[in-house]
Amino acid sequence: MITLEQVAKTIGELPILEAVSLSVKKGQFMCLVGPSGCGKTTLLKCIAGLRTYEGKIRIDGRLSQGINPKIGYVFQEFSLFPFLTVKGNMEFGLRIQKKPRKEMDDIVASLLDLFLLQGFEHAYPHELSGGMQKKVAIARALATDPEILLMDEPFVSLDAQTRNMLQKELLRIWNKTHKTILFITHNVDEAVFLADRVMVLTRRPATVKEEFLIDLERERDRTSPEFVSVRKEILKELEEEYVEQVDRGYKGL
């Protein structure tokens, strides 16, 4: 479980986050949507312990400071270590934890199974497609068995087909592993397809604007009237933020 209380962040003079409070229950899939550049990534990095912040972040009720082994992170970039094979990447966190060879091999084997990557363990990242690299990145984050998975627009640079396929894969893996997932996207369709709850953030400095419960049976049909109507509502909230951003831009002139 993740709890944020009044989390704020300023870089220099620029306020990035303003009193963000939210909580994600254990096993829940939550999406954060917000206009580009609103501070979503910063928020996620604060939770991961990669940035300093004001306010309180609790993991399972305990104040979290610095890097937390209960948290796994998937980056927006293609962030696999290019000099390690698929197996080497998956093992990275386990090596840091000095796990015995046998245990590492077992974990990697089960990850290769789970992600349908058998036969690719000795491939280097540049030999994989973008979609496969993303799968390996998720597997790497899961290798140390964290409770929470933070995902920062992981599918943003992929084509629509690969993106849809990976969304389904992610749900399948979430069903099997019961991780708590906090997933950032600016793609409302993606948020509604994946999440139990969708939080809309304001433009920078980001704060929580509105929350939506997505109470639709999975696997969701992107063309169903219910899906489309939730999507519309969220888009409306989001567009308000864009409009204000533009207005403020003109005032700035």
Q: Could you give phi then psi for residue 178, rounded to 5 degrees?
A: 55, 35
Q: Least Å distance between CB 129 and another protein?
A: 13
Is 77 a binding residue for another protein by CB under 8 A? The answer is: yes
**For residues 83 and 127, is the Cβ–Cβ distance under 8 A?**
no
Binding mask 136-175 for another protein (x = CB under 8 A): ----xx--x-------------------------------
> Prior bond to 154 cis, omega within 30?
no
Question: Which of the stretches 12-20, 41-49, 189-197, 212-220 binds another protein when contact is defined by CB under 8 A?
Answer: 41-49
- Long-range contacts, 169-172 (Cβ 8 Å, 24+): 169/115, 169/116, 169/135, 170/138, 170/194, 171/218, 171/219
Q: Least Å distance between CB 131 and another protein?
A: 17
**For residues 173 and 114, is the Cβ–Cβ distance under 8 A?**
yes
Is 134 a binding residue for another protein by CB under 8 A? The answer is: no
DSSP notation for 153-182: STTTTS-HHHHHHHHHHHHHHHHHH--EEE
Q: What is the largest CA-CA distance in the chain?
A: 63
Is 37 a binding residue for another protein by CB under 8 A? The answer is: no
Binding mask 80-119 for another protein (x = CB under 8 A): -xxxxx------xx-xxx----------------------
Q: Which is nearer to another protein, 37 or 82 (CB)?
A: 82
Is 48 a binding residue for another protein by CB under 8 A? The answer is: yes
- Please list the residues that pair with 4 across neighbouring strands: 22, 57
The binding site for another protein (CB under 8 A) comprises 45, 48-50, 67, 69, 71-73, 75-77, 79, 81-85, 92-93, 95-97, 124-126, 140-141, 144
